[in-house]
A and B are shown apart, each in its own frame.
Chain A
Amino acid sequence: CESFLDEAPRSAVTSVAYYQNEAQAQGQVNSLYRMGAPLRYASAGSAYIGPNASINSMLTGYFTNSYEGQELICLYSRELTRQNNTRIVSNTMNSIWNDCYRAINIANAAIKYIPEIEMDANLQSKLVGEAKFFRAYNYFYLVKTFGDLPLSTEPYEATTDDLYLPRTGTAEVYALIEADLKEAVDALPASTFANNAHRISRYAAAMALADVYLQQGKYGDAATYAQLVLDSPHGLTTNSDLALNSAYNKLRKSDDLDESIYALEYDGTINNSGWWTTYAFSSSATSIFTTYSIFERVYGPTDRFLNVYEAEDLRIQPNQFFHWKYTNPNTGTKWTSAQAGIWYYYDEDAVLNTGRGTKDWNLYRYAEALLIAAESIARSSGVNADAAGYLAQVKARADINGKTAADYTAELQSLPEDDFVEAVWTERLRELPLEFKMWDDCLRTGMFPVISASVKGQVDYQPLVGTQNGSGATFKETDLLWPISLDELQRNPKLTQNEGYQDIAR
């Protein structure tokens, strides 16, 4: 009775029966939506530390985590002392590496096997396009974080595969990212994210590609793909008033705005947004809410950072991006804080009633497309009306005195190229600080924004290496990359450590 010992699992399909049909193809690509790089930005899994990408902003010294005594990676990042604390930093590097490469491996399998499945050809090419988007998006996050990477394009399936890849140069990694995203742009529907069943659209792929080109300083290509997004049905959210119906409050409260090019979805029953809304306050908020019991300022802007805004900027007005006092409308109890809380993270129904945040997290929005276009056009074609107009749209939306985009365009068009580009950078600092893109700008420009401690709105750009960050620590060449985790170095002898970081004994 040989068959007595055969195994026939019922609660899990095994590889033998996988990659066989349309439903499996769909399921496989679906898994990529909530795994890897998107979650590095959007996952608020801990009350004590923000998503991985938020830690990057700590490097500027302009943001602090009130729990950095426990979440030491935030402290070492702010003080630029990660090099001597590689062991502690490694734990977070493991989770980034693990999650992103898991997504890459799944995407590799999807790209390899879905074309072999007999299924609807249209769906087939869309799914492969989505898989390519996710492979590129994950590699993009990794290459910005670590530099040279083990680059695999085939799925790992057995221990006989080559498990120990050395690092490949960033140029080759970027080449794969660009190729994947171009194919995604071609394969995916020309529809907004919300109208495309919240799946990756041509514009999401184009936006990522523009971002990838910008990061490499390939301005012409960046401009092309940013323009593709700007010409799409996506658009900028407008202010209905300059108070709680401003564009920024709409972005805070509403999902599926035209401004949203790519988002990670949250809802109240299937996947809620975790601790996001608690990051809006400091710990004394426990006395005014009964829905959550821990409130920490895990991504707390310093007052110095807030000087990036001119006094009249709408975004620095209370209850736009930030807030300093709050009254619970149900009980009348009050929270006040000398240090800014982040109003943008405030999810009203969650914190007042349900304890479950539902707000989707925007990974790309139209304002960023405008800023990418403005900078890359200026760099590739000079400061023309388009470039100036795009920057002007973002600035005009934040103007509380009614200055129009046209007014700004006229003004901006006269700026010399470098001044214009710096104006874009500053605008990025003001528009996107709560979405963890600040460090990418430092990396790609090699410049550090020295925000004036005294003059509101004044930013001076200095070469990154050699300049002091917002916490008084001076950037070194080795601060540009994160370390390869010590565990990964031990697991894969072909890897080498990034310059300046502790290594394992070999």
Chain B
Amino acid sequence: NQAMASSFHVTTAKSGYTSVNQQHTISGIVTSGTDQAPLPGVSVVVKGTQKGATTNEQGQYTIEAEVGDVLVYSFIGYTSTEQTVGNQLQLNVVLQEDAQALEEVVVVGYGTMRKSDVTGSISIAKGEDMIKAQNFSALDNLRGKAAGVNIFSNSSQPGAYANRVVIRGTATINSSSNPLYVVDGVVMEDFQLINPNDIERIEVLKDASSAAIYGARGANGVILVTTKRGSKDGRKTVSYQGSVGFSSPQRFMKVLDANQWVEAFMTGLENENTYQGKSWSLDKTDWFNDPTYFDSNGNPLYNTHWQEEATRTGVTHNHQLNIQQGDEKSSTGAFLNYTDQQGIVNNTYSKRINGKLAYDSKPLDWLSTSVNLLVNHTWGRYTPEDGGGQDARRTMIEMLPWLPIYQPDGQYTSSSSSSITDVLGFEGMSNPVAILDKQKRMRYNTQIFGNAALTFHLADGLDLKTQFGVDAHRKDYKGYSSIILNNISRPNGWAEIQHTNTFYWQEETYLTYNKSFDKHRINAMAGLSWQERTYGYDASRTEGFSDDFYEWNNMGVGRTPSSPSSDWDQWRMNSYFLRAAYSYNDRYSLTLTGRYDGSSKFGANNKYAFFPSAGLAWNVSNEDFMQDNTWISNLKLHTSYGLTGNSEIDPYSSLANVTAGTHLLDGARAPYSYLGSMSNPDLKWEKTGTYDVGVELGILQNKLNFDVSYYNRTTTDLLLAAPLPYATGFSSVMRNIGSVRNQGLDMMVTATPFTTSDFNWNITLNANYNKNEVLKLGENDEDIPQNSWVGGPNSIIRVGENLNSFYGYKRYGVYTVEDYEAGDATLAQVGRAKRSTTQEILGKGMPDWTGSFINTFNYKNFDLTVDLQFVYGVETMQQFFHSTYDRFGITNGLETILTDAYNGSNPNTMQQAVYLTNNGHAGQDTNVDSQWVTDGSYLRFNVLQLGYTFDSSLCKRLGIAALRVYANANNPWLITSKEFQGYDPEGTSLGDSNKFGQNMVFFSYPRAKSFMLGMNITL
């Protein structure tokens, strides 16, 4: 209802006098009313005749006409205008964009719809907004741009891709919680690999009305990506975007320095003398007497800041070249990218080279074709981020600070380098610099992705489209770990090579009918689909190297090869789908969708299922009674209900599969096998019923807009590895049991609080509130313990609780001298943790609230973006307290040990007294408890960007079309709870695919902040 009146302006230039009825040559320039740029390819026709011309590159045309003739100017996307020829020789015409074309169109599954007709909840993000941050990963760029789409960015490691994407809450246990990614109509896996610069726009389908068209794969939401193509407007553009950035650790963890370490150690001895009946010498020189590392007073000679030594300033650069040309009939776009991202941890990096070619053509009135081909290669070196091993991310905290990087003989130190190791009994830990130098883990991914489509224009509004798409990945991993790395690969070293190949194809054919009759508008679609994905894997590994020369390049030299391994699987789907959307008078809209999906993954008795949805929308502001309302410029209500499914389980899950391999028997490899799982021929889809109701409200000429929706998603028939009594010989069986509910609100507020001709301020506030609850689990509502670690499961799935619940003991404090005196503790217990004897829920790793607050300011040629992100109502489990508090002595510890630990006079402290873990000393007392859990809320300054766009006049003088330069700061500040002692409360040490490990961090790759300079230039 910002209906734009079509209008045109004619300027005339009297350049001569001519007589009536005389044939003469008219010339002129056609420009766009939007940006005053010349429009090439505009058709100019003398009405009622075959005489015509087309504007050239500069928008110029010439045509023979007589006075009184009517010239018709037409161009796609613009309102055609007519102009009667008078006496002028020159007719310059400004074409205005068509109001109909201006009406925002959104991409939905298998087609597009007018935004006003949409009955579901769809978030939209534009490519140009997303690439502002210049992140390597499109998902990092999408973060905060779409309401209800929570993207947890768990690592700063280049190529780690450790983003967890959760749309409207987790609704599954044993199936994937990742959304479905559909790029130009083709399902893509490993979406994090895509070059973000190729993305034109993203639509996120969140409710059933929009997502149910993807049926069995739609339950986690669908991310529809449209990539860039050639230009349709006759222009040829060559543009380059480049940036260079410098990253460094956002913060360091505060650990003891060398002198503090010695001090804390002596405190530990004193405590043991006081409370544990020991009589250790309290003279430092009796302990720290290795002259290589200590002076004669027992003071350290070295003080190594291991985090600084293991990290660096990483330089990153990104180059994107876009060549786009074409018109309505035929267009091509070529896109090239090279990115080199150096990580902040020594020797980690990721690089990408990416090419994309798009071709669109309409060779015949009844036929169009489009082709898109993308080749993407990424490669890099990384350091592990999951598990409990003594990898660099861990030893850069735990390594003893009084050891230098190298021993006097030039060898790398380890924690057993000093002669006092013998007395103190350190475990052997490699230093992080050594690990990062001497362990090489490389990954190489090549993706070929593309599609080819033919569209037959059968009749006005009736098209038949058939599209074939492929997504092929080849992933190689090569690793070598040196024979010198203590507690990792000493003395044998290891080399590994793994290959993973996947090939996915889909063929989809569908008929669309789009037509308006008077006040009626119909948008209908029906189609069918076949999909197949084949997976192959092989791996080899050997140990037993004598030197580090060969790495993985000649594994034959390893003395002790492991058995080679390989794997293969395949799944297929066959589907039928339809959508019928009807709108009346721009006011009332109805959308019905249905998809009948068949998947090979399910039990013989349940291969097919049907997923329907229905949605209604009412554009209230188009009603007559609203026309006099001056302050409400847009009001739309919409609601929907429908079913979507989740089928992301491994193939063959319904079958009883035999586990087989070889093991040692009689001095040789002997084959073994046994039935490793129970069959379940009734296995079927996980079903999510989603109810969605939303309102769009625009106030004061849409200066202030609200887009709010409430949802209630209940997932039933959970694909659950349902616990079985262990006495059956199995620990679980894949069954459809249990239920999870997510309900919440997605909110997006956009506002333009202030606008002048020179100054403009835009605000976008995105927020999602989600409440997750497990309603039902297996037959007996059995708890499902998860993530077993020190002291047992660290998280649990339990009926009535959030899926991501932390689980452990409650810490009440520490046993004090007073407790001892009152007879409530033994002397040896003084200073030890006082915990509950049963475990309880300690918090949750998924936030109640997530959101972003993005401000953009434009002043003349300057633009400034301030992009803030927040999460609230979440906890984080600092599993690293296990070693940095509870294991001090054989490791380094947090600086707060010196202030917080129980010392006999601070009975209210929660932290245990310093007791040494070293051999012959008090030993550790460690268990997952509430002291490890702290508030995980944060406010992040995600991106600050200042840009400058050069005047077009200046550009013209430089011979270019447009030029913008900018400077970025990414993640420069992060505000967290005071008790949080790690790098970033958002993280996981449990791997990308562990849905229940969010915000459980043992140690992590440090979080980066970066500063960046960039330019965008268009020729």
Q: Which residues of A contact B (CB under 8 A)?
A: 1, 4-15, 18, 23-24, 26-28, 30-31, 33-34, 66-70, 72, 84-85, 87-88, 90-91, 94, 97-98, 101-106, 108-109, 149-150, 152, 155-159, 161, 163-165, 197-199, 265-271, 282-284, 286-288, 290-295, 297, 335, 353-356, 485, 487-488, 490-493, 495, 502
Contacts and interface: CB of A to CB of B under 8 A. Distances in A.
B17 interface: no
A105 B428 CA distance: 41
Contacts of A23: 671
Given A13-B660, A101-B726, A157-B656, A490 B530 contact: no
Given A101-B728, A335-B422, 10 more contacts: A7-B651, A11-B567, A12-B660, A31-B672, A69-B917, A97-B727, A197-B665, A270-B662, A487-B782, A490-B780
A152 B667 CA distance: 33
Contact of B491 (A1, A294, A354): A354
A125 to B, nearest CB: 19
Given A87-B792, A286-B428, A491 B782 contact: yes
A69 B422 contact: no
Contact of B572 (A4, A27, A502): A4
Sorted nearest first, the 10 A-B pairs with minimum C-beta distance are A105-B729, A293-B428, A293-B487, A15-B656, A283-B425, A27-B673, A287-B421, A31-B672, A283-B919, A492-B725
Contact of B730 (A66, A150, A156, A265): A156
Contacts of B568: 10-11
Interface in B660-681: 660, 662-676, 678-680
Interface in B743-795: 778, 780, 782-783, 785, 788, 790-793
A416 B426 CA distance: 52
A268 B188 CA distance: 44
B729 A18 contact: no
Contacts of B525: none
A24 B725 contact: no
Nearest to B922: A69
B11 interface: no
B838 A14 contact: no
Interface of B: 414-416, 419, 421-429, 486-487, 490-492, 530, 560-561, 566-574, 598-601, 607, 651-652, 654-660, 662-676, 678-680, 723-731, 733, 735, 778, 780, 782-783, 785, 788, 790-793, 837-839, 886, 890, 917-920, 923-927
Contacts of B571: 7
B570 to A, nearest CB: 8
Contacts of A165: 725, 727
A274 to B, nearest CB: 13
B112 to A, nearest CB: 30
Given A9-B569, A18-B675, A290 B728 contact: no
A283 B726 contact: no
Given A68-B923, A157-B675, A87 B426 contact: no
A287 B674 contact: no
Contacts of A355: 490-492
Nearest to A18: B658
Nearest to B573: A5
A492 B727 contact: yes
Interface centre among B570, B663, B669 (most CB of A within 10 A): B663
Contacts of A28: 672-674
A23 B672 CA distance: 9
Given A159-B678, A490-B783, A150 B727 contact: yes
A5 B604 CA distance: 9
A266 B664 contact: yes
Contacts of A14: 652, 655-658, 679
A237 to B, nearest CB: 20
Nearest to A95: B726
B655 A9 contact: yes
B912 to A, nearest CB: 11
Given A34-B664, A102-B730, A286 B675 contact: no
Contacts, number: 272
A91 B726 CA distance: 12
Nearest to A165: B727
Nearest to B567: A11
B729 A84 contact: no
B663 A98 contact: no
Nearest to A17: B658
Contacts of B426: 283, 286-287
A265 B667 CA distance: 8
A72 B727 contact: no
A502 B838 CA distance: 10
A34 B663 contact: yes
A198 B667 contact: yes
A165 B668 CA distance: 39
B720 to A, nearest CB: 12
A24 B425 contact: no
Nearest to B653: A7
23 contacts: A1-B574, A5-B600, A9-B655, A10-B569, A12-B657, A12-B660, A13-B673, A14-B657, A15-B656, A18-B675, A31-B672, A88-B792, A105-B728, A105-B729, A109-B675, A150-B725, A197-B665, A265-B667, A269-B561, A283-B919, A293-B487, A491-B724, A502-B837
A6 B600 contact: yes
A163 B917 CA distance: 45
A49 to B, nearest CB: 12
B450 to A, nearest CB: 23
Contacts of B727: 97, 101, 149-150, 152, 165, 488, 492
Nearest to B737: A159
A293 B427 contact: yes
A11 B989 CA distance: 30
B490 A7 contact: no
Contacts of A492: 725, 727
B508 to A, nearest CB: 15
A24 B723 CA distance: 28
Contacts of A30: 663, 665, 670-673
A157 B678 contact: yes
B729 A294 contact: no
A502 B837 CA distance: 10
B726 A98 contact: yes
Contacts of A156: 678, 728-730
Contacts of B673: 13, 18, 24, 27-28, 30-31
A490 B570 CA distance: 36
Interface centre among A31, A286, A492 (most CB of B within 10 A): A286
A85 B419 contact: no
B924 A69 contact: yes
A163 B737 CA distance: 16
A487 B675 contact: no
A87 B839 contact: yes
Given A97-B726, A157-B678, A293-B490, A84 B785 contact: no
Nearest to B414: A293
Contacts of A490: 780, 782-783
Contacts of B600: 4-7
A28 B675 CA distance: 9
Contacts of B923: 66-69
Contacts of A294: 427-428, 487
Nearest to A287: B421
A94 B574 CA distance: 42
Nearest to A151: B727
Interface centre among A7, A11, A291 (most CB of B within 10 A): A7
A288 B417 CA distance: 10
Nearest to A99: B726
Contacts of A4: 530, 572, 574, 598, 600
A286 B421 contact: yes
Contact of B919 (A27, A34, A66): A66
Contacts of A72: 791, 927
Given A101-B727, A490-B782, A5 B607 contact: yes
A488 B491 CA distance: 41
Given A88-B792, A493-B780, A267 B664 contact: yes
